[in-house]
Structure 1
Amino acid sequence: DAASIRRTLTMQAPEWRKARTALRLGKNRLTKAHKSLLRTVTTADTEVGTAWRLKEQFRDLYRKVAPSNAARYLRRWIDEAQSCGIVAFVQLARMIDKKSDAICAAIELGISNALIEGINSKIRLINARGYGHHSAASLKAMIYLNLGGIEVKLPTQR
Structure 2
Amino acid sequence: YRMRLTLQDFYEQANPKAAAEFLADWCEMVLEAGLEPMKKVARTLMEHADGVLHWFWSGFSNGLLEGINSLIQAAKAKARGYRTTRNLLNIAYLIAGKLDFALPVR
Normalization by structure 1: what TM-score?
A: 0.58
Q: After the TM superposition, which parts of structure 1 deviate over 6 Å for at least 4 consecutive aligned residues?
A: none
**AA in 2 matched with 1:151:** D
Could you tell me how far 1:57 is from its partner in structure 2?
1.3
Q: Is the 8 A contact 1:67 1:108 kept in 2?
A: no
1:115 aligned residue (52, 64, 74): 64
Structure 1 counterpart of 2:7: 58
Could you tell me how far 1:73 is from its partner in structure 2?
0.9
What CA deviation, in whole Å up to 9, does each residue of 1:108-135 have, x standing for no partner?
Answer: 3212121112111111111111111112
Q: Which has the higher Rg, Structure 1 or Structure 2? A: 1
Percent identity among equivalent residues? 30
What SS does structure 2 have at the residue aligned with 1:133?
coil
Gaps of at least 5 residues in structure 1 are 1-51
2:44 aligned residue (88, 95, 103): 95
Structure 1 counterpart of 2:54: 105
Q: How many residues align?
A: 105
Query: Aligned-residue CA RMSD in angstroms?
Result: 2.1
Greater RCO (Cα-Cα under 8 Å, separation 6 or more): 2
Normalization by structure 2: what TM-score?
A: 0.81
| Structure 2: distance between partners of 1:140 and 1:102 | 29
Structure 1 counterpart of 2:30: 81
